Chain A
Amino acid sequence: MFDFVSFIPRAVVQGIPLLFGSTGETLTEKSGNLNLGIPGVMYVGGISGVIGAFFYEQSLSSKADINGFLAICIPLVCCLIGSLLMGLIYCFLTVTLRANQNVTGLALTTFGIGIGNFFGGSLIRLSQSDVPSIALSATSAFYHRSLPFADKLGWFGKVFLSYGFLAYLAVIIALITAYVLRHTRVGLHLRAVGESPATADTAGINVNRYKYVATCVGSMIAGLGGLYYVMDYASGVWSNNAFGDRGWLAIALVIFTLWRPNVGVLASFLFGGLYILHMYIPSGLNLAVKELYKMLPYVVTIIVLVFSSIRNKREKQPPQSLGTAYFREER
């Protein structure tokens, strides 16, 4: 029998970084910015948190006097600032300077992964550890802490209550984002900017401001995904390139959910499940087949992309102006 009680929590913890990433990217894309820099932003979010936590832990004389509030807030704030800066770079280039979004995004990814691995590597040297990774177990313990009574509730506790607070935050942010996009005036304006900036401009909406705010907030949300990955999923262990291709998977998830963050909650868990399915498939010693299972999330995304374009329903398309810069005086 397939062991759902152990499978679901593992799928969920795999899914949470993707959920953060895809919520952030959805918000960004709704403003018409296709931010292909999200993988880089998530790296920077992760490493900024690690840097903050590292120096906080170093400043303590012993691990015992760690203050729970500071241990959570310092990495969190560092992470938000780091990813905000990445968002600002992207916005300045694509919105203010109207640069090509694909090129800027790819450059941002190169840059962000470089930042992550560079500072990661430098911190590893600073900490003079024997293994190529930094362990921030004290900080991680606070991020990892789940509700105290979760253990006592059997399978229910394990499936629903065994996660750190960032996991719940991811779900809440996704639901709030979905609500804001669908049911508020700000969301309506934002969607207008993404669909047709010229129309929005005529209606008196400040296009650039919406693009900036949506992209920067989106980057900050995505950055939290990197922080969750290091602090909770990896138990505070940063090793270079461990984050892998999750950033691209988060972009895949945006398409998969057809730009709806509320759907993203379940979809990210599904993707998390697909990502680790290969560990649960009884394939014996055949490692090769496992590699094929890792292809599933991407193949599923392609299928969704194709079907949504074939059905061609208006509300299920990418934002119309996605990937194009807006210049008021252009035709």
Chain B
Amino acid sequence: MTTNEVRKKEPLIHITKRGQLVWYRAWGIRIGAVLLALIVSALISVIMTGKNPFEIYATIFQGTFGTTRKLWIALQDSALLLCISLAVTPAFRMKFWNVGGEGQALIGCFASAACMILLKDVLPHWAVIVCMVLASLLAGAVWGFIPAFFKAKWNTNETLFTLMMNYVATQIVAFFCVIWESPKGSGQIGVINLNTGIGWLPDLFGNKYLLCISVVLLLCAFMYFYLSNSKHGYEISVVGESEKTAHYVGIKVEKVIIRTMCLSGALCGLAGLLLTGGVNHTLTTTLVSGRGFTAVMVSWMAKFNPIFMILTSFLIVFLSRGASDVASKMSLNTSFSDILTGIILFFIIGSEFFITYKVHFRKKHTGEEIAHV
């Protein structure tokens, strides 16, 4: 009798934590989620446009692979996104939620634009570039250092602090956009040094996209070894796992937090350098265009693994470029791509649950266990 009563109260669904799931099954689940998301987004596109879904898939695909130029732009976009994602990753591994990538990159843009504008008549081209590199790395590092310092000393909430720092950066840039505006009264800076090209990062092998891509790939390799094969990387993991353990084994937690965030900020600054010096040659408040936030998702989707981040950043760029092509071809609003990106992210975010946890349904009989994944 008692067993019967107990069974009545047993909940319909019961979840338990899995041990480590083998990597191919975990990635199978993730790919399944992406496919499901693609089906749902195609459905929504069909409802919006009334077109046949395969046409929509083809358009999405064309958005990246349509022409060589489109492919290069997509690769460059992924590289920029990857750069910021790599930058925020060491902080995330330490469970320091740096959502300030946007501001750190923007302040890097600002620093390199400042060098381009102020030093163009003072220093030769190569010296301006050296100054830009140093200035943008330093600016980003400072922007990362400020919240890290307060986190290390007084445990100030870093998510909220870095979030606010984004807007401080935006307003600083807005201030200088007015100061340096050209032509006067436009409120915009326009392309800096359009005629002289001073401070423009050089092309690599005559290809204007290649420099940015190769720098970021090098950074990716560096970050992989830094995180998995260096003492610093080990310290970051220990601090992320448990600050108490870190203290116990003699790691100076404050120092690790500050050092890691300076690195994280500096690399965001590097992304700013690439954006201003290499890609756009200008400075606006929206230059980073949300990459600082998207990077959080890219990094998290790749489980903070730099190599997987190449895939996830490319995936996000592929989808958003494809969705904006769908939007323009079917004469929808361009914000359509944000909606599709959002939906796909929800699916990927949701799929993590099935990787971390196992779902058991209530047993109908005393028979064998029915476990669904």
Mark A88-111 against chain B: 1 for CB-CB distance below 8 A, else 0: 010011001111101110111111
Taking CB as reference atom, which chain B residue is nearest A111?
Answer: B342
Interface centre among B155, B178, B339 (most CB of A within 10 A): B339
**Interface segment out of the listed A6-14, A195-203, A287-295:** A287-295
Beta-carbon contact of A292 and B171 below 8 Å: yes
Q: Which residues of A contact B159 (CB under 8 A)?
A: 34, 36, 102, 323
Which of A104, A118, A299 is B333 in contact with, Cβ under 8 Å? A118
Mark B327-354 against chain A: 1 for CB-CB distance below 8 A, else 0: 0000011111111011101100110110
Beta-carbon contact of B338 and A110 below 8 Å: yes
Beta-carbon contact of B171 and A103 below 8 Å: no
Interface centre among A34, A93, A288, A291 (most CB of B within 10 A): A291
Q: Does A301 contact B (CB under 8 A)?
A: yes
Q: Does A127 contact B (CB under 8 A)?
A: no
Which of B17, B177, B187, B334 is A330 in contact with, Cβ under 8 Å? B17
**How far does the alpha carbon of A211 sit from the alpha carbon of B113 in the complex, in Å?**
46
For residue A204, give the distance in angstroms from its CB to the closest CB of chain B. 14
Q: Do A110 and B342 contact each other (CB < 8 Å), given the known contacts A103-B300, A251-B163, A305-B164? A: yes
**How far does the alpha carbon of A289 sit from the alpha carbon of B172 in the complex, in Å?**
10
Say what secondary structure dominates the interface of chain B: helix
Q: Does A117 contact B (CB under 8 A)?
A: yes
**Interface segment out of the listed B129-137, B189-197, B266-274, B289-297:** B289-297
Q: Does A222 contact B (CB under 8 A)?
A: no
Beta-carbon contact of A102 and B99 below 8 Å: yes
Which of A98, A115, A255, A288 is B356 in contact with, Cβ under 8 Å? A98
Q: Does B165 contact A (CB under 8 A)?
A: yes
Q: Does B224 contact A (CB under 8 A)?
A: no
Which of A108, A292, A318 is B157 in contact with, Cβ under 8 Å? A318
**How far does the alpha carbon of A97 sit from the alpha carbon of B354 in the complex, in Å?**
8
**Interface segment out of the listed A133-141, A165-173, A175-183, A306-314:** A306-314
**How far does the alpha carbon of A102 sit from the alpha carbon of B300 in the complex, in Å?**
10
Q: Do A251 and B345 contact each other (CB < 8 Å), given the known contacts A121-B335, A287-B187, A327-B17? A: no
Beta-carbon contact of B333 and A122 below 8 Å: yes
Q: Does A315 contact B (CB under 8 A)?
A: no
Q: Do A118 and B157 contact each other (CB < 8 Å), given the known contacts A100-B349, A106-B293, A329-B17? A: no
Q: Does B179 contact A (CB under 8 A)?
A: yes
Q: Which residues of A contact B342 (CB under 8 A)?
A: 107-108, 110-112, 114-115
User: Which residues 18-50 of A have a CB within 8 angstroms of B?
Assistant: 34, 36
User: Which residues 193-240 of A have a CB within 8 angstroms of B?
Assistant: 240
Beta-carbon contact of A110 and B294 below 8 Å: yes
Q: Do A110 and B99 contact each other (CB < 8 Å), given the known contacts A103-B349, A295-B172? A: no
Q: Does B65 contact A (CB under 8 A)?
A: no
Q: Do A122 and B172 contact each other (CB < 8 Å), given the known contacts A114-B339, A306-B156? A: no
Q: Does A302 contact B (CB under 8 A)?
A: yes
Residues of A in contact, count (CB < 8 Å): 58
Q: Does A252 contact B (CB under 8 A)?
A: yes
Q: Which residues of A contact B293 (CB under 8 A)?
A: 106, 109-110
User: Which residues 275-331 of A have a CB within 8 angstroms of B?
Assistant: 287-289, 291-292, 294-295, 298-299, 301-302, 305-306, 309-310, 312, 318, 322-323, 327, 329-330
Q: Which residues of B contact A252 (CB under 8 A)?
A: 160, 163-164
Residues of B in contact, count (CB < 8 Å): 54
Q: Does A113 contact B (CB under 8 A)?
A: yes
Taking CB as reference atom, which chain B residue is nearest A122?
Answer: B333
**How far does the alpha carbon of A294 sit from the alpha carbon of B166 in the complex, in Å?**
13
Taking CB as reference atom, which chain B residue is nearest A116?
Answer: B335
**How far does the alpha carbon of A290 sit from the alpha carbon of B168 in the complex, in Å?**
13
Beta-carbon contact of B346 and A110 below 8 Å: no
Which of B172, B333, B350 is A97 in contact with, Cβ under 8 Å? B350
Beta-carbon contact of B187 and A323 below 8 Å: no
Q: Which residues of B contact A65 (CB under 8 A)?
A: none
Q: Which residues of B contact A116 (CB under 8 A)?
A: 335
Taking CB as reference atom, which chain A residue is nearest B339?
Answer: A114
Beta-carbon contact of A117 and B97 below 8 Å: no
Taking CB as reference atom, which chain B residue is nearest A99?
Answer: B349
Q: Does A248 contact B (CB under 8 A)?
A: yes
Beta-carbon contact of B352 and A99 below 8 Å: yes
User: Which residues 194-253 of B have a CB within 8 angstroms of A?
Assistant: none
Q: Does B167 contact A (CB under 8 A)?
A: yes
Beta-carbon contact of B357 and A117 below 8 Å: no
Q: Does A245 contact B (CB under 8 A)?
A: yes
Q: Which residues of A contact B160 (CB under 8 A)?
A: 251-252, 255, 301, 305, 318
For residue A98, give the distance in angstroms from its CB to the closest CB of chain B. 6
Mark B8-45 against chain A: 1 for CB-CB distance below 8 A, else 0: 00000001110000000000000000000000000000
**How far does the alpha carbon of A140 sit from the alpha carbon of B150 in the complex, in Å?**
45
Q: Which residues of B contact A301 (CB under 8 A)?
A: 160, 164
**How far does the alpha carbon of A255 sit from the alpha carbon of B165 in the complex, in Å?**
14
Beta-carbon contact of B168 and A299 below 8 Å: yes
Beta-carbon contact of A106 and B99 below 8 Å: yes
Q: Which residues of B contact A120 (CB under 8 A)?
A: 333
Q: Do A98 and B99 contact each other (CB < 8 Å), given the known contacts A106-B293, A111-B343? A: no
Q: Which residues of A contact B97 (CB under 8 A)?
A: 102, 323
**How far does the alpha carbon of A299 sit from the alpha carbon of B317 in the complex, in Å?**
33
Q: Do A298 and B171 contact each other (CB < 8 Å), given the known contacts A97-B350, A288-B178? A: yes
Nearest first, the 3 A-B pairs at minimum CB distance are: A114-B338, A111-B342, A121-B333
Could you jot down 30 A-B contacts, CB within 8 Å?
A36-B99, A36-B159, A97-B352, A99-B353, A100-B300, A103-B297, A103-B349, A106-B99, A106-B294, A109-B293, A110-B294, A113-B335, A114-B335, A114-B337, A115-B338, A115-B339, A117-B333, A120-B333, A121-B334, A248-B163, A248-B167, A251-B163, A288-B176, A292-B175, A295-B171, A298-B167, A298-B171, A302-B168, A318-B160, A329-B17
Given contacts A103-B296, A104-B346, A245-B170, 6 further A-B contacts (CB under 8 A): A102-B97, A110-B338, A116-B335, A117-B338, A298-B165, A299-B168
